[in-house]
Chains A and B, each alone.
Chain A
C-alpha cells in the first residue's frame, strides 16, 4: 500500500464549477501538507502549504486537513480553463527540514469552457 493515495482522474468539470481534490495517507508522522499544480512539461508549482489539521484559504483555493481521518482536500471555487492541470498532494514529517516530500500520483483536471 502506498503512503499517499490520490485518485488519478481524469476529472472533467464545466467552467465555474467547484472542484474537490482529495488524498488519503497512512503515515501518522506527516505534519506538513502541500498541494502543487503541474502543467504539462513544467515543474510543480506550490499552491498551498498547511501545517497540522485545519483549513487554509488563498483566493479561489481552500485546503483542508483532517489528521484524525488522514485525509486532505483541495477545493477550487469558480474553476477556470486555466486551472486545467495535474494536481499533486505532497506530505512531509519534517516540513522544510530535509525536504523529503511524499507525493500522491496526481489528479488530472480538465475545466471545460
Chain B
C-alpha cells in the first residue's frame, strides 16, 4: 500500500511570492491534515480536511489556506511569503474517525529567501 505522497520535496521561493504544496493521502483515507515544523516551534497544526470540508484550523494567519478534492488529495497554499515561513510542511492522512491513527508524508521543505 502506498504511503502519503507530498510534492514537491523541496522548494525555494522569494519573499512576497505564493506557493502551492500537494499531498496525496493513503488510498481510502478521507482526512488530510497539514503541519508546519520549524526548529523553534516544532510541529504545529495548520488545518484538517475531511471529505472536502475543513473541520479544524490552527492559529495561523489567513495567508495559509488549503483545500481538498473529491479524490481526497489536498493542496496547501501560502500567499505573500515571509522569511519566517521557511519550514518543513508535513501532511498526514487518516480515516478521520475517532480512535484512528494519522500517518505522515516525507514533507515539503520550503525555503523563503
**Which residues from chain A sit less than 8 Å from chain B, CB to CB?**
32, 34, 36, 41-46, 49, 51, 88, 90, 94-106
Contacts and interface: CB of A to CB of B under 8 A. Distances in A.
Contacts of B104: 36, 43-46
Interface in B84-107: 90, 92, 94-107
A90 B6 CA distance: 21
Classify the interface of chain B: helix, strand, loop or mixed. Answer: strand
Interface stretch (B13-21, B42-50, B62-70, B75-83): B42-50
Nearest to A98: B56
22 contacts: A43-B6, A43-B90, A43-B106, A43-B107, A45-B104, A88-B43, A94-B98, A95-B97, A95-B99, A96-B31, A96-B101, A96-B102, A98-B33, A98-B50, A98-B55, A98-B56, A99-B56, A100-B48, A100-B56, A101-B92, A101-B102, A103-B35
Given A96-B31, A96-B99, A105-B42, 15 more contacts: A34-B102, A43-B90, A43-B107, A44-B104, A46-B101, A96-B95, A96-B96, A96-B97, A96-B98, A96-B101, A98-B31, A101-B33, A101-B92, A104-B42, A106-B42
Interface of B: 4, 6, 31, 33, 35, 42-45, 48, 50, 55-56, 58, 90, 92, 94-107, 109
A41 B102 CA distance: 19
B28 to A, nearest CB: 13
B99 A99 contact: no
A46 B100 CA distance: 12
Given A42-B106, A43-B106, A98-B55, A103 B98 contact: no
Contact of A103 (B42, B106, B107): B42
B59 to A, nearest CB: 11
Given A95-B99, A96-B31, A99-B31, A43 B42 contact: no
Report the 8 A-B pairs with minimum CB-CB distance, sorted nearest first. Answer: A96-B100, A43-B104, A103-B43, A98-B56, A99-B33, A97-B98, A95-B98, A95-B99
